[in-house]
A and B are shown apart, each in its own frame.
Chain A
Amino acid sequence: MSPVSKSAAAIAAARAEGRPALICYLPAGFPDVQGTIDAAVAMAENGADIIEVGIPYSDPVMDGSVIQAATVQSLAQGFKVAQVFDIVRGITERCNATVMIMTYWNPVLRMGVDEFSRCLAEAGGAGLITPDLVPDEAAEWMEASDKYGLDRVFLVAPSSTEARMKATVEASRGFVYCVSVMGVTGARAEVSDAAAAVVAAAHAAGAENACVGLGVSQRKHVTEIGAYSDGVIVGTALVAALRDGGVDAVAKLTAELSGRTVNA
Chain B
Amino acid sequence: MNPMTGDPDLGESQSESSPSHSLRHAAGPYFGAYGGRWMPESLIAAMDELSETFEAAKADPEFIAQVKDLNKNYTGRPSMLTEAKRFSEAAGGVRVFLKREDLNHTGSHKINNVLGQALLAKRMGKTRIIAETGAGQHGVASATAAALMGLECVVYMGAEDTRRQALNVARMQLLGATVVPVTAGSQTLKDAINEALRDWVANVHNTHYLLGTVAGGHPFPAMVRYFHEVIGEEAREQIIAQAGRLPDAVAACIGGGSNAIGLFHGFLDDPSVELFGFEAGGDGVDTGRHAAAITLGRPGVLHGAKSYLMQDDDGQTVDSHSISAGLDYPSVGPEHAYLADIGRVHYEPITDTEAMDAFSLLCRTEGIIPAIESAHALAGVLKIAARKIAAGAKPEETVIIANLSGRGDKDVGTAAEWFNLIDTEAKDAK
Seen from chain A, the residues whose Cβ lies within 8 Å of a Cβ on chain B are: 57-62, 64-65, 68, 72, 75, 80-81, 105-111, 131-134, 136-137, 154-161, 164, 168, 179, 182-184
Given A59-B190, A110-B300, A161-B45, residue A132 in contact with residue B313 (CB < 8 A): no
Kindly state the separation between the CA atoms of A154 and B314 in the bound complex, as whole angstroms: 22
Q: Does B36 sit at the interface, judged by CB under 8 A?
A: yes
Q: Is the CB of B316 within 8 A of A62?
A: no
Residue of B nearest to A116 (CB): B315
Kindly state the separation between the CA atoms of A59 and B184 in the bound complex, as whole angstroms: 10
Residue of A nearest to B190 (CB): A59
Kindly state the separation between the CA atoms of A81 and B311 in the bound complex, as whole angstroms: 13
Kindly state the separation between the CA atoms of A80 and B2 in the bound complex, as whole angstroms: 48
B20-39 to A contact mask, C-beta < 8 Å, 1/0? 00000000000000001111
Q: Write out the residue numbers on chain A whose beta carbons fall within 8 Å of the beta carbon of B309.
A: 106
Q: Is the CB of B37 within 8 A of A184?
A: no
Kindly state the separation between the CA atoms of A184 and B201 in the bound complex, as whole angstroms: 7
Q: Does B164 sit at the interface, judged by CB under 8 A?
A: no
Chief secondary structure at chain A's binding surface: loop
Please give me the 8 A-B residue pairs with the lowest Cβ-Cβ distance, nearest first: A110-B315, A107-B315, A157-B42, A159-B45, A183-B202, A106-B315, A58-B317, A58-B316
Chain B min CB distance to A22 (Å): 23
Most chain B CB within 10 A, of A61, A134, A164, A179, is at A61
Q: Is the CB of A110 within 8 A of B313?
A: yes
Q: Does B360 sit at the interface, judged by CB under 8 A?
A: no
Give 8 pairs: A residue, B residue, CB < 8 Å, sorted on A.
A59-B194, A62-B198, A80-B314, A106-B301, A106-B317, A154-B41, A182-B42, A184-B201
A-B contacts besides A179-B42, A183-B198, 14 pairs, CB < 8 Å: A59-B317, A61-B194, A62-B201, A81-B314, A108-B315, A109-B300, A132-B40, A137-B37, A154-B41, A155-B40, A155-B41, A159-B204, A182-B203, A184-B198
Q: Write out the residue numbers on chain B whose beta carbons fall within 8 Å of the beta carbon of A184.
A: 198, 201-202
Q: Does B155 sit at the interface, judged by CB under 8 A?
A: no
Q: Does B303 sit at the interface, judged by CB under 8 A?
A: yes
Report how many residues on chain B are interfacial, defined by Cβ distance under 8 Å: 37
Interface residues of B in 279-305 (CB under 8 A from A): 298-303
| Number of A-B pairs, beta carbon distance below 8 Å | 115
Residue of B nearest to A75 (CB): B316
Q: Write out the residue numbers on chain B whose beta carbons fall within 8 Å of the beta carbon of A155.
A: 40-42
Kindly state the separation between the CA atoms of A179 and B185 in the bound complex, as whole angstroms: 24
Seen from chain B, the residues whose Cβ lies within 8 Å of a Cβ on chain A are: 36-46, 48, 184-185, 190-191, 194, 197-198, 201-205, 298-303, 309, 311, 313-317
Kindly state the separation between the CA atoms of A40 and B161 in the bound complex, as whole angstroms: 39
Chain A min CB distance to B354 (Å): 29
Kindly state the separation between the CA atoms of A105 and B299 in the bound complex, as whole angstroms: 13
Q: Is the CB of B38 within 8 A of A160?
A: no
Given A59-B190, A61-B197, residue A179 in contact with residue B311 (CB < 8 A): no
Kindly state the separation between the CA atoms of A53 and B143 in the bound complex, as whole angstroms: 41
Kindly state the separation between the CA atoms of A132 and B194 in the bound complex, as whole angstroms: 13
Most chain A CB within 10 A, of B43, B203, B309, is at B43
Given A156-B41, A159-B45, residue A105 in contact with residue B301 (CB < 8 A): yes
Kindly state the separation between the CA atoms of A262 and B276 in the bound complex, as whole angstroms: 65
Kindly state the separation between the CA atoms of A64 and B194 in the bound complex, as whole angstroms: 11
Kindly state the separation between the CA atoms of A135 and B48 in the bound complex, as whole angstroms: 15
Kindly state the separation between the CA atoms of A65 and B63 in the bound complex, as whole angstroms: 40
Kindly state the separation between the CA atoms of A137 and B299 in the bound complex, as whole angstroms: 15
Given A61-B197, A105-B301, A136-B37, residue A164 in contact with residue B44 (CB < 8 A): yes
Given A61-B194, A110-B311, A184-B202, residue A105 in contact with residue B38 (CB < 8 A): yes
Contact of A109 among B37, B39, B203, B301 (CB under 8 A): B301
Residue of A nearest to B317 (CB): A58
Most chain B CB within 10 A, of A62, A158, A159, A183, is at A159
Q: Write out the residue numbers on chain B whose beta carbons fall within 8 Å of the beta carbon of A179.
A: 41-42
Chain B min CB distance to A30 (Å): 16
Kindly state the separation between the CA atoms of A131 and B190 in the bound complex, as whole angstroms: 19
Kindly state the separation between the CA atoms of A65 and B185 in the bound complex, as whole angstroms: 11
Contact of A132 among B38, B48, B202, B311 (CB under 8 A): B38
